[in-house]
Amino acid sequence: MVLTKSSQELYGEYTARMQKIADVKYSAAVLQWDQETYLPPKGAEFRARQLATLSEIAHEWFTAAESGQLLEELYGRHDLTDDQRRNVILSLEDYNKQKKFTPAFVRRLSEASSRCFHTWLQARTTNSFAVFSPELQNMIRLKKEEAELAGYEQHPYNALLDQYEKGATVSLLDKVFSEVRQPLRQLLDRISGGRPVDDQFLRGNYPKQQQWDFGMELIRQLGFDFEAGRQDLSEHPFTTNFNSHDVRITTRVDEHDFSNMTWSCIHETGHALYEQGLPAEYYGLPLGEYASLGIHESQSRLWENNIGRSYEWWQTVYPRLQSVFPKQLGAVSLESFYKAINKVQPSLIRTEADEVSYHFHVMIRYELEKKLIEGNLSVTDIPAWWNEHYAAWLGVTVPDDKRGCLQDVHWSHGSFGYFPTYSLGSFYAAQFFAAAKNQVAGLEASIGQGDTRPLLHWLRENIHRWGRRYTSEELCLRSTGKTLDISFFLGYLLDKYDNIYKF
């Protein structure tokens, strides 16, 4: 029957089907967003059901035999436009991956992650990993099952990595991390022997409302479109989107730590600008989606670090900040402020880590996840393994689980293989920023005037508008002329910290 239909008719059916699935998925995303921002505790149980039902429906529709036939038929047609063909190829790839999981398995995973998330919250309240341990064990069993169902070469963890970063493997990451580990370790050592930086003033008293207002001002200034998104509070800052015209970000505000709110706002704004820049005409289709999590993170980290921790940008933003907090910052020079916000100090919490020690937090999680998925470490041994590695790699003593292995939300969501994308993001960010500076005349001068529009324009043109058309490496090659090259990141860090610490 399909054979009698024209390619454009069939493509129309495909688009309608994909967009209907997107309606279900993004409705689930609204419920998920609500779960992490406003849901009252007693609502958690039914919410878990609702989320499970929606994710099951979306999965069923996408993996239905009709979807497969439609995609196979379209794949064989030769009169599609380039964009249409790319969408079909990517959807068929997704279909072949997804259909390896039964609806029952998807439902079990969704229910488990809702339970796991709430147990994680309880474990944090009681500051006890033992509370979290049974649900986490169950989650890891499911992730191993998922890896087996998905299939992999060489290492089961590859199957999980691939879901976040297509093409990423244990052997690739082992190599990348081994290239950065030594130079970063040496930089940390040089810094610890250098002149100490005072950042005490960042932890004075910064009233919550004023911080919130300043954060909102920053977000707007960086280009976040409030007609197409909003910001709220949550335990763990995140970005989610329901389409490129509705992007949600969250932050947390700590009265005694100005940094926490500020750089989480800038970070999530980086994610949001990417989502707001994806082509709306491809709603529900691959070309309307982000390229990979590594690329997503490159956007957040570019804004957070390459802009949000740069001397140039704060030249114009800092006087404004001083006028909001005259008592706290009036007597602090821009020079001292710049050094303080870039202070390097190995610490306990990943999301608060500086740009140098940050990657050790990621490498510890990466090594730990590999072991858990291989089955070479039991869940009950996580706290001891964690604490031992924080002592060895970062030289810090973990006082309790909340500031140790309970700090991240990821495992409770079942996100194993996610952390490495944070480091990849920083590495890509440095390379993208170097390319933008090369290609856009006067880019640094405009940043110095607090005007980041030329940078956003470059990102829109080179990264955002392409959606999932290219893989991370293709996107990197097209926009910078090279595939991922760690020397951009290392060069950027060494330059910056040489200047700050004056070795």
HSE at residue 280, side-chain half, CA atoms within 13 A, is: 8
Strand order in the sheet with 229-233: 229-233, 246-251, 239-243
254 φ/ψ angles, rounded to the nearest 5 degrees: -115, 120
Of residues 389-408, those binding Zn ion (CB under 5 A): none
d(CA 415, CA 429): 22
Q: For residue 337, what are its two tokens? A: 């402020």
The residue type of 210 is Q
Q: Are 370 and 154 in contact (CB under 8 A)?
A: no
Q: Smallest distance, Å, CB 412 to Zn ion?
A: 17
The residue among 251 and 300 lying less far from Zn ion, judged by its C-beta, is 300
Which are the contacts of 498, defined by CB distance < 8 A and separation ≥ 6?
Answer: none
The residue among 284 and 294 lying less far from Zn ion, judged by its C-beta, is 294
The residue among 59 and 361 lying less far from Zn ion, judged by its C-beta, is 361
Which are the contacts of 391, defined by CB distance < 8 A and separation ≥ 6?
Answer: 397, 398
Is residue 300 involved in binding Zn ion (CB under 5 A)? yes
Q: Smallest distance, Å, CB 115 to Zn ion?
A: 25
- Within 10 angstroms of residue 143's Cβ, the number of other Cβ atoms is 24
Contact string (CB under 5 A) for Zn ion, positions 351-390, x = contact? ----------------------------------------
The residue type of 143 is K
Q: Smallest distance, Å, CB 305 to Zn ion?
A: 12
Q: Are 282 and 65 in contact (CB under 8 A)?
A: no
Catalytic residue from among 36, 146, 165, 268: 268
The residue type of 323 is S
Q: Which stretch binds Zn ion (CB under 5 A): 137-145, 296-304, 330-338, 486-494?
A: 296-304
Q: Which stretch binds Zn ion (CB under 5 A): 10-18, 217-225, 298-306, 461-469?
A: 298-306
d(CA 171, CA 176): 9
Q: Which stretch binds Zn ion (CB under 5 A): 153-161, 297-305, 346-354, 373-381?
A: 297-305
Residue whose CB is nearest to Zn ion in the complex, by number? 300
Q: Which stretch binds Zn ion (CB under 5 A): 138-146, 299-307, 349-357, 388-396?
A: 299-307
268 in active site: yes
The residue among 290 and 390 lying less far from Zn ion, judged by its C-beta, is 290
The residue among 91 and 269 lying less far from Zn ion, judged by its C-beta, is 269
H-only helix segments in 64-127? 65-75, 82-98, 103-126
Q: Smallest distance, Å, CB 270 to Zn ion?
A: 8
Q: Smallest distance, Å, CB 266 to Zn ion?
A: 11
Binding interface with Zn ion (CB under 5 A): 300
Which residues does the annotation mark as catalytic? 268
